[in-house]
Amino acid sequence: MSDLTIAKVETRLLDVPLFRPHGFATYTATSQPILLVSVTLEGGVTGYGEGVVPGGPWWGGESAETMKVIIDHHLAEATVGREVTELVGIVQDWNRSVANMRFAKAALEIAMFDAWARALDVPLAHLLGGQFRTELDCVWALGVLPLDEAFAEVNERRELLGTTQFKLKMGSGDPAVDSGRIADLIANTDDSLSYRIDVNARWDRLTALTYLPKLRDAGIQLFEQPTPAHDLDTLREITTRVGVPVMADESVCSPADALAVVTKQAADVIAIKTTKAGGLIESKKIAAIAEAAGLACHGATSLEGPFGTAASLHFAASTPAITYGTELFGPLLLKETYVANDIEYRDGKVIVPSGPGTGLEPDWDKIDHFTRD
């Protein structure tokens, strides 16, 4: 077998335009900054990871730029020269020298996993316990949009991709106006479609308890993180009072967070983003805690590009606890891709690319084109 010693860690910042602006609660993105991380082994194999947050640092404090600093100046030196087979020990050493910074750690951890799987010539899922499924349901997220544009996008995605599950971003405008907009959308599209909302933690308790029952009556089938991340008492109150399943996203960024949600019985579903969790190993721990408590898990996204999305797909494909589908549609938001073989989406599902590693190959011309000066 080729030499599995890590020879180098490289990072480059990409700015990849979106095919349309994506409106979040506090920020509208027109392009996605992505830190492309490459880990090259002495034997010559390279693996790829992506440092990504949805649009910018508003979500969790990190940005593609902070990840570059943390990886280049801190994590890389604890990584280079070691065998990739020591992966869990390497990650433990990162945690001794760098607190938090989970998105940065995820990008480098995934690049190491990918390099290791490619060196073994196996799909990434094989290093994560084995492949349990080959495709998963995939939700499409609409940014904050005027009603006519939302209608058009729902119809277009349904026709192009067979999408029947839609996530609507909320939390940016007046909750009364915003809830009315969403009720109109649901009332004017047919019953075969299902809708959920993501408030990105922006509502206080009273706003949530005022508007969530109205959104329930309008037909919303899942509430994602309506209230602040730390406030598990209110999340539990919503979970027990409103009668619509609640998904914890911002509230769960670590296994300890998952345990807190379980202990408080604060949610029905946990959104697992491999990025916010700090990588694939921590994501597996969150899934195990949720599974043991009987909670569902959702394969969530930070709007990763193709490499990050494919890694999250291999995680979901190797984790039976992901029982609540995925929203791993990030590459479709990009105007153009930067891999030679993109991820396939059809019939409302996303297909797990086959390996080695994530199964995707870089298109270096495109990567050069998107690289920030």
In the complex, which residues of this chain contact ligand MUC (CB under 6 A)?
54, 141, 169, 198, 200, 249, 300-301, 303, 327
Least distance from C-beta 24 to ligand MUC, angstroms? 6
The answer to whether 65 is a known catalytic residue is: no
Q: Report the residue number, 79 or 200, with the smaller CB distance to ligand MUC.
A: 200
Q: Is 109 in the site for Mg ion (CB under 5 A)?
A: no
Q: Candidates 60-68, 147-155, 216-224, 232-240 — which segment interacts with Mg ion by CB under 5 A?
A: 216-224
Task: Determine the residue with CB nearest Mg ion.
Answer: 249
Position among 109, 114, 178, 198 found at the interface with Mg ion (CB under 5 A): 198
Q: Report the residue number, 114 or 198, with the smaller CB distance to Mg ion.
A: 198
The answer to whether 169 is a known catalytic residue is: yes
Q: Candidates 61-69, 192-200, 304-312, 338-346 — which segment interacts with Mg ion by CB under 5 A?
A: 192-200
Least distance from C-beta 26 to Mg ion, angstroms? 13
Task: Determine the residue with CB nearest ligand MUC.
Answer: 141
Which of ligand MUC, Mg ion, none has residue 301 at its interface (CB below 5 to 8 Å by kind)? Answer: ligand MUC
Least distance from C-beta 70 to ligand MUC, angstroms? 21
CB 196 within 8 A of CB 221: yes
Least distance from C-beta 202 to Mg ion, angstroms? 11
Which among 68, 167, 169, 273 is annotated as catalytic?
Answer: 169
Q: Is the dihedral of CA 123, 124, 125, 129 positive or negative?
A: positive
Q: Report the residue number, 46 or 239, with the smaller CB distance to Mg ion.
A: 239
Q: Report the residue number, 163 or 200, with the smaller CB distance to ligand MUC.
A: 200
Could you write out the three-class secondary structure of the chain? CCCCEEEEEEEEEEEEEEEEEEECCCCEEEEEEEEEEEEEECCCCEEEEEECCCCCCCCCCCCHHHHHHHHHHHHHHHCCCCEHHHHHHHHHHHHHHCCCCHHHHHHHHHHHHHHHHHHHCCEHHHHCCCCCCCEEEECEEECCCCHHHHHHHHHHHHHHHCCCEEEEECCCCCHHHHHHHHHHHHHCCCCCCEEEEECCCCCCHHHHHHHHHHHHHHCCCCEECCCCCCCHHHHHHHHHHCCCCEEECCCCCCHHHHHHHHHHCCCCEEEECCCCCCCHHHHHHHHHHHHHHCCEEEECCCCCCHHHHHHHHHHHHCCCCCCCCECCCHHHHECCCCECCCCCEECCEEECCCCCECCCCECHHHHHHHECC
Which of ligand MUC, Mg ion, none has residue 268 at its interface (CB below 5 to 8 Å by kind)? Answer: none
Q: Report the residue number, 223 or 370, with the smaller CB distance to Mg ion.
A: 223
Least distance from C-beta 300 to ligand MUC, angstroms? 6
Position among 62, 114, 249, 304 found at the interface with Mg ion (CB under 5 A): 249
**Separation CA 363–CA 262 (nearest Å):** 43
Task: Give the position of tokens 């910042």.
Answer: 13
Q: Report the residue number, 239 or 326, with the smaller CB distance to ligand MUC.
A: 326
Which of ligand MUC, Mg ion, none has residue 274 at its interface (CB below 5 to 8 Å by kind)? Answer: none
Catalytic positions: 169, 327
